[in-house]
Amino acid sequence: MSRIRQKVSSISVDQRIEYAELLRERIYSTITLLAVVVTLWQHANNYSAWAVVGAVIGTVGALWLATLIASRMSYRIVHDGKELEMHYRKASEAASGLLAPAVMPVALTLISMTGLFTLEAALASSVILLVLSLFMFSLVSGRKIASSFLSLVVYSLLQLGLGLVVVALKLIVK
């Protein structure tokens, strides 16, 4: 039995579901933020560093709130009150993954304010890091749930490709 299969067998079904939710939310947030950052990068001369920080934090903050509100509404419609509190806690934990992709773009943008590099360079670096993070996050977190190393690499490469498609679409559409 491979090491990956041993790891998968030691993780409970509930833990697998939580990992899947965290991964899903992180991917959604990264892709959405990637589209926003590419747009900001294309028009970097039109924005101040503080405007970029506000746009990045606003984007992930809105996604986070939308996830919590949608979760609350959908579960209220389908379930009774006893099951709600446990779901809200799990949804809140899963939604926390929506905020993580903003860290590097905000940090790089704030560093650009020191004059170490331009805002445009900070945004270009953020685009690269967000695309690479799709691959790396999938690779690292997927180890916990993947059934084989090959499927893990293929899945992670698909995530990387998805990020590249988002960037290409944003660059083509302008």
The 10s digit of each residue's pLDDT in 59-75 is 999 998 888 888 777 77
Q: Is the model's pLDDT at 20 over the cut of 60? A: yes
Q: Which of 40-44, 82-86, 155-159 has the lowest mean pLDDT?
A: 82-86
* 119 neighbors 49 (Cβ within 8 angstroms): yes
- The percentage of residues in the chain with a pLDDT greater than 70, rounded to a whole number, is 86
pLDDT, mean over the chain = 83
Rounded Cα distance, 142 and 96, in Å = 18
Q: What pLDDT, on a 0 to 100 scale, did the predictor assign at position 83?
A: 65
Torsion over CA: 60, 65, 66, 67 (sign): positive
Furthest CA-CA distance within the chain: 56
> Quick one: which of 97, 92, 124 has its CA closest to 108?
124
Provide the pLDDT confidence category of residue 111 given band limits of 50, 70 and 90. very high
**pTM of the entire predicted model:** 0.80
Q: Where do the structural domains in the chain lie, given as residue ranges?
A: 13-173
Rounded Cα distance, 26 and 31, in Å = 9
Rounded Cα distance, 64 and 29, in Å = 9
